[in-house]
Amino acid sequence: MFLRKALQPRLSTRLWKSYSASSLDENVFKVDHLVIGAGVVGLAVARELSFRDNSSVMLVEKNSSFGLETSSRNSGVIHAGLYYNPDSLKTKLCIEGKEMLYEYCKAKQVGYKPTGKWVVANEKGSTGQEEYLVKLYEKSKTLGIPTELFTPDKVDPSDMEDTQVLKLLNTTLILNSPSTGIISQYDYMLSLLHDAQVNGTDYFKETEVVGVQKQNEGGYMVSLLQKDQEGKQDSEIRVHAQSVVNCGGLWSDKISNFLCDSDKTKNPTQIHYKFGKGRYYTYQHLLSDSVNLEQITKKLIYPVPDKNVTTLGIHLTLDLNGKIKFGPDIEWIDNNTDYSVVQGDNIDTFVEQIRRYFPFITRDHLTIDYSGIRPKLVGDGSPLSDFIIREESGNGFPGFVNLLGIESPGLTSSLAIAKYVKNILY
């Protein structure tokens, strides 16, 4: 009874009645789909599943609001899908997700801008930068991603923006990606949540999954800790879910490792992330500058990435107000909550890498802003890994869908990931 009382104040009367009616016993609540984590991916998955008739969806988030972790700590770029292995889920879901995202933004009036982007080589010869861009160009043609490859002298002189940017830019070869853009992550997530809730999804914030146990009769018993109204005391609630979708972002390895059967045998597929922290610096115009970069740059500028594409390199991205930021770098850390940033952090690397394409940049142009953390399946120096999105039947856990290593381009791919998950379940 205590548990029911603990949950009751957080539910509307309608919800409370419906959960009571379908509960297995008085302390267990029953749902068809439990989605763990209200980042951009969990929100998109809950929305997609909520379109199914006659199935109930519950979305739980441990934080005080949706999207407070990686989904709001990124570059906000709608990627074209250029960089990944052509046969990978990253390529497939990024290309499909990009199209879906542009359509969605238009239909729902979510803020976005198809800015386009230039990937710029700035060294000829042995570094292989130009060869890399040529290969990227060839690959983009086979994948149907629009791109153009040109030397700086081919830029149309009547294009004021491009001409002005070129005056500041050190480049020998440019790959133009016109289908790259930017999005307001917050507006997008708010809209996804709205859609899901309109379709009947029950969303509970400050509600953390702390255990998942497979049931002999089918489905999973999920243990939740929910904070009270003041956010202080936790109450424990149990939910029986026919299917569970693990969209826990930086915590999804731990959630996956909660899995156990009724004998409490651990899931044999243990996965542990490596965490790659990435910082951003905002650009400050200096009075001594002859031009203000923010007034002339309307597109994103990326360097050629390192060989394994561990990151895309410290790039210039914009927000919808035209504010420029540079980042992210990468630092391998142990703590997936360490978002701390201090002015001067790794600034020499920032200056050195940005100056390869914008030689006028100095330390004084850069002010530390924020950081995000990547859930990496592989560490430094390893080839880029793919998204893992799978139902765990093969490991003895049918109806449990794991989403692991959902790093970039997870934001771009979110709607396509959601469709992919629905197709796994139905």
Ligand X SMILES: Cc1cc2nc3c(=O)[nH]c(=O)nc-3n(C[C@H](O)[C@H](O)[C@H](O)COP(=O)(O)OP(=O)(O)OC[C@H]3O[C@@H](n4cnc5c(N)ncnc54)[C@H](O)[C@@H]3O)c2cc1C
Using CB under 6 A, list all residues that contact ligand X.
Answer: 36-42, 60-63, 68-71, 74-77, 79, 208-209, 247-251, 255, 278, 328, 372-374, 406-412
- Contact between 258 and 271 (Cβ < 8 Å): no
Minimal distance in Å, beta carbon 163 to ligand X? 27
Minimal distance in Å, beta carbon 264 to ligand X? 18
Minimal distance in Å, beta carbon 54 to ligand X? 26
Minimal distance in Å, beta carbon 1 to ligand X? 25
Q: Is 337 exposed, middle or buried (0-12, 13-18, 19+ CB in 10 A)?
A: exposed
Minimal distance in Å, beta carbon 183 to ligand X? 8
For residue 121, give the H/E element and its range: strand 117-121
CA distances for 5 relative to 15, 236, 237, 239, angstroms: 14, 11, 10, 15
Which residues lie below 8 Å from residue 388, measured CB to CB, with a gap of 6+?
271, 377, 402, 403, 404, 405
Residue number, 64 or 265, with CB nearest to ligand X:
64
Minimal distance in Å, beta carbon 216 to ligand X? 24
- Contact between 412 and 97 (Cβ < 8 Å): yes
DSSP 312-356: --SEEEE-TT--EEEE---EEES-TT-----TTTTHHHHHHHHHT
Rounded Cα–Cα distance for residues 401 and 245 (Å): 5
In angstroms, the first-to-last Cα distance of the chain is 36
Minimal distance in Å, beta carbon 25 to ligand X? 23
Rounded Cα–Cα distance for residues 213 and 209 (Å): 11
DSSP designation for 383: P
Residue number, 57 or 173, with CB nearest to ligand X:
57
Residue number, 219 or 375, with CB nearest to ligand X:
375
